[in-house]
Chains A and B, each alone.
Chain A
Amino acid sequence: MNLDTNMESAEFLKGRSLWGDARARFFRNKAAVASLIILILISLFAIFGSYVTPWSNEEIDWNLMGDVQTLGGPSIETGHYFGLDPLGRDLFARVVQGTQISLMIGVVGALISVIVGTLYGATAGFVGGRIDNIMMRIVDILMAIPYMFVLILLLVVFGRSIFMLFVGIGMISWLDMARIARGQTLSIKNKEFVEAAVATGVSTPAIILRHIVPNLLGVVIVYATLLVPQMIMFESFISFLGLGVQEPLTSWGALINEGAGQMRYGTLWMLGFPLFFFLISLFAFFFLGDGLRDALDPKDR
C-alpha cells in the first residue's frame, strides 16, 4: 500500500535539467540579477515611455523654443522631464524613441548572429572536410573586408536609412558567432552521444538541431548578450559620425552627438540623459553576459 503510493508520487519525478541548474546559479549572482532588472526597466521605458509624457517626439514647444538655453532645462512644471532638445522638442520623448531604436539594433544584430552564425558554424563543424573548409574561408574573406569602410560607402551611396544599417550589421554580426559555434561543434561532435546518434541513423539536420545546437547554446547565449552592446556601440559610432539613423528617427548615438554639439552653450542635459541611458545599458549588458557565463558554464571560472 505504502509502496504503491510511493510509486504513484514518484511517477511525477521531475528531473533537474542543466538549464534549471544554470537558472539557480544565475539568480545567486547579485550583479547579474541587478543588471537584468535594469535592462527590463529600460525596455519598459522604451515601450511605455511615450505614454508618460504629454509631449510627442515631433512636437516643437513654441513657447520655450526661443529660450531653450535658459528655460528648456529639465522641469516637472513644463512637462519636459528631461528638458528640450536644441530644436525645442521634448527630450524625454526623444530619448524614448532613441532607446527603442538602439535596443532594436542591438537585439536584431544579436538575433541575426545567433540564428545565422550558430546554424552556419554548427553545420560547417559537423559536416567537416571540404565543405567546412569552403564555408570557413568565406567567413575569413568577409572578415577581411573593412566593413566599417564598406558600410560608410553604402550609406553614402544608397543614402542613410535604417534598413542599410541593418544590412551592415547583419553582414558582420554573425561572423564571429559562426567561428565560435564551429569551434564548439568540433568538440561536441566527438562526444559519444553524437556517435550514438550517427550509429542509430539519425539524419544530419536532426543531429545538428537536436544534439549539437542545444549543447552549444550556452556559449551562444553568453556571446549574444555581449554582442548586443557591441552592436549598439557600432550604431552609435556611425550615428556619431552623422551617418546613422536619419531625422526624425534617432538613436542614443545620434542624441549624444546632438547633445555634444550643444555643450558649449551649457545645456548639459542634452548630452547627459542619452549618455546616461547608453552607459547604464552597456554596463548592464556586460554584467548580464558575465553572469550568464558563470551560470551556464560553471567549469570556465
Chain B
Amino acid sequence: MNVQSPLLSVRDLKVWFDIRAKGALPWTPSQKLKAVDGVDFDLMPGETLGIVGESGCGKSTLARAIMRMVPAEAGTVMWLGDSLLELNKQDMREHRKEMQMIFQDPLASLNPRMTIGQIVAEPLKTHFPDIPASEVKERVREVLQRVGILPNMINRYPHEFSGGQCQRIGIARALIVKPQLIICDEPVSALDVSIQAQVINLLMDIQEEMGLSLIFIAHDLSVVKHISTRVMVLYLGNVVEISEAEQLYRAPGHPYTEALISAVPIPDPEAEASKEVMILDADLPSPLNPPSGCVFRTRCLIAGPECAQSKPPLKDLGNQQLVACHKR
C-alpha cells in the first residue's frame, strides 16, 4: 500500500466567538465562547470523514472555519500544500471551487428568487466567467440529470420542489465545479427517513464516480455509520475520539462514544430490548464556561480526580484509534 499524503490537514484549529451580554457597557470585557477548541485531523483523498456530536458542539463552526467563513483564532488548515488561513482573498477564491458545501436546510440553502438553473450555474459562472452560455446550460443539465432532477425543470423555483429534491439541487450546485471535497453539514437531518437513505446513497455513488472526499456531519452516529470511512466524535469543541468507522462502532474507546453508540437503536427487537442504554445525565455544560480538565467529566460515569486536573491528549490505542481520555 502506498502512503498517500492527506488532502486536508487540520492542526490545533480554534474558533472563539466574542460574546457580549445584551446591553453590556462597551468597555466590559467580552467573554470567549470556545466553539472549536483545538481540533486535529487529516483527510485522505477519496475518504469520507464522519463528524458526530450533539447540537452546539461546534460541528458547523469547524466546517465554516475550514472554508474560512468564520475567522479562526489559531491553528492551521493545509489544503493541497497551501495554508488556507494565510492565503489572501484572491488565492483563497481560487481554492473555493475545489471545496464545496451542502447545508442542513435544503430549501433555505436555495435563493427563493432564482430559478434552479440560475442557482446551479452560479458557482460555475463565478469561477469561469468566460464559459459561453450554451455550455453553462449544457453543464447544468448534465449535473441535474446526474442527481436525479429532470433537466427541463431549470426554469422552476425552489419552492416548487420537495425537501429531498432541494437537497439534490444543492448537491448539483456543489458538483458543477467538479470539487475534490464536499463538506456536508447535516445534509439529511431535515429530511424524512426514507429520503435520507436516497440522498446518502446518491452522495456515495457520486463520491465513487468522481473520487471525491467527503466530510459528513451529523448529530447522531447511526446516520454516519453507513457512509463514513472514519468517524470523528466532537464534544464541546474538542475531539474526543477519531478512528476507523468499523472499529469505532465495534469497540468505542471514549466513554462519550460508548454512550452515543448505546443510544443507536439495534434493528433486532430482542437485542434492542435487552441492551443497556447509557443515559447521559446532566445537561451539556455551557461552552462559555466549560469544565476544567476533561470537558466531558461532568457527565462521565468513570470520571476520577485526575480528570479535573488536566485535559487528556489524544492517544493512539492501536489500530489508529485515537482517544482523548485519561483512563484509556
Interface size class of B (residues with CB under 8 A): 35 or more
- A193–B93 contact, CB under 8 A? no
Is B105 interfacial (CB-CB < 8 Å)? yes
- Enumerate chain A residues within 8 angstroms of B92, measured Cβ to Cβ: 201
Query: Closest approach, in angstroms, between the C-beta of A126 and any C-beta of chain B?
Result: 14
Is A2 interfacial (CB-CB < 8 Å)? no
- Enumerate chain A residues within 8 angstroms of B114, measured Cβ to Cβ: 210, 214
Task: For chain B, residues 106 to 123, give those with C-beta under 8 angstroms from any C-beta of chain A.
Answer: 108-115, 122-123
Is B254 interfacial (CB-CB < 8 Å)? no
State the majority secondary structure of interface residues on A: helix
Is B297 interfacial (CB-CB < 8 Å)? no
A215 to B112 CA separation, bound complex (whole angstroms): 8
Query: Closest approach, in angstroms, between the C-beta of B236 and any C-beta of chain A?
Result: 23
Candidates B110, B126, B157; contact of A17 at CB < 8 Å: B157
- B156–A192 contact, CB under 8 A? no
Query: Closest approach, in angstroms, between the C-beta of B122 and any C-beta of chain A?
Result: 7
- B96–A13 contact, CB under 8 A? no
Tell me the nearest residue of chain A to B151, going by C-beta: A11
Is B152 interfacial (CB-CB < 8 Å)? yes
A19 to B250 CA separation, bound complex (whole angstroms): 54
Candidates B64, B108, B152, B173; contact of A10 at CB < 8 Å: B152
Task: For chain A, residues 178 to 219, give those with C-beta under 8 angstroms from any C-beta of chain B.
Answer: 191-193, 195-203, 206, 210-211, 214-215
- A199–B69 contact, CB under 8 A? yes
- A201–B97 contact, CB under 8 A? yes
Tell me the nearest residue of chain B to A8, going by C-beta: B152
The number of chain A residues with a CB under 8 A from chain B is: 28
A13 to B110 CA separation, bound complex (whole angstroms): 19
Query: Closest approach, in angstroms, between the C-beta of B125 and any C-beta of chain A?
Result: 9
State the majority secondary structure of interface residues on B: loop
Tell me the nearest residue of chain B to A196, going by C-beta: B109
- B122–A15 contact, CB under 8 A? no
Whether A193 touches B157, Cβ cut-off 8 Å, given contacts A11-B152, A199-B69, A201-B126, is no
Query: Closest approach, in angstroms, between the C-beta of B89 and any C-beta of chain A?
Result: 9
- Enumerate chain A residues within 8 angstroms of B150, measured Cβ to Cβ: 10
A12 to B155 CA separation, bound complex (whole angstroms): 8
- A192–B103 contact, CB under 8 A? yes
A258 to B101 CA separation, bound complex (whole angstroms): 66
- Enumerate chain A residues within 8 angstroms of B110, measured Cβ to Cβ: 193
Is B82 interfacial (CB-CB < 8 Å)? no
A199 to B156 CA separation, bound complex (whole angstroms): 24
Candidates A18, A203, A206; contact of B157 at CB < 8 Å: A18
Is B100 interfacial (CB-CB < 8 Å)? yes
Is B262 interfacial (CB-CB < 8 Å)? no
A76 to B159 CA separation, bound complex (whole angstroms): 57
- A196–B155 contact, CB under 8 A? no
Q: Mark B20-63, 1 if CB is under 8 A from A, else 0.
A: 00000000000000000000000000000000000000000000
- A13–B113 contact, CB under 8 A? no
- A17–B152 contact, CB under 8 A? no
Interface centre among B110, B122, B153 (most CB of A within 10 A): B122
- A202–B104 contact, CB under 8 A? no
A21 to B267 CA separation, bound complex (whole angstroms): 46
Is A7 interfacial (CB-CB < 8 Å)? yes
Is A301 interfacial (CB-CB < 8 Å)? no
- Enumerate chain B residues within 8 angstroms of A299, measured Cβ to Cβ: none
Query: Closest approach, in angstroms, between the C-beta of B183 and any C-beta of chain A?
Result: 8
- B109–A14 contact, CB under 8 A? no
A214 to B155 CA separation, bound complex (whole angstroms): 17
- A214–B113 contact, CB under 8 A? yes
A13 to B161 CA separation, bound complex (whole angstroms): 14
Is A130 interfacial (CB-CB < 8 Å)? no
A192 to B103 CA separation, bound complex (whole angstroms): 7
Whether A191 touches B157, Cβ cut-off 8 Å, given contacts A7-B152, A10-B150, is no
Interface centre among A195, A196, A203 (most CB of B within 10 A): A196
- A215–B113 contact, CB under 8 A? yes
Is A16 interfacial (CB-CB < 8 Å)? yes
Query: Closest approach, in angstroms, between the C-beta of A204 and any C-beta of chain B?
Result: 10
Candidates B105, B115, B152, B177; contact of A192 at CB < 8 Å: B105
Tell me the nearest residue of chain B to A21, going by C-beta: B159
- B159–A18 contact, CB under 8 A? yes
- A192–B109 contact, CB under 8 A? yes
Whether A15 touches B100, Cβ cut-off 8 Å, given contacts A10-B150, A200-B122, is no
Is B226 interfacial (CB-CB < 8 Å)? no
Whether A192 touches B69, Cβ cut-off 8 Å, given contacts A17-B113, A201-B93, is no
- Other A-B contacts than A13-B152, A16-B160, 12 sampled, CB-CB below 8 A, are A13-B156, A15-B160, A192-B103, A196-B173, A199-B101, A200-B100, A201-B93, A201-B96, A201-B126, A210-B114, A215-B111, A215-B113
List 29 interface pairs A-B (beta carbons < 8 Å), by A numbering: A13-B155, A13-B156, A15-B115, A15-B155, A16-B160, A18-B112, A18-B113, A18-B157, A19-B113, A192-B109, A193-B110, A193-B111, A196-B103, A196-B109, A196-B170, A198-B69, A199-B101, A200-B123, A200-B127, A200-B173, A200-B177, A201-B96, A201-B97, A201-B123, A203-B126, A210-B111, A214-B111, A215-B111, A215-B113
Where the two chains meet, the residues of A that have a C-beta atom closer than 8 Å to any C-beta of B are 7, 10-19, 191-193, 195-203, 206, 210-211, 214-215
Where the two chains meet, the residues of B that have a C-beta atom closer than 8 Å to any C-beta of A are 64, 67, 69, 92-93, 96-97, 100-101, 103-105, 108-115, 122-123, 126-127, 150, 152-153, 155-157, 159-160, 170, 173, 177
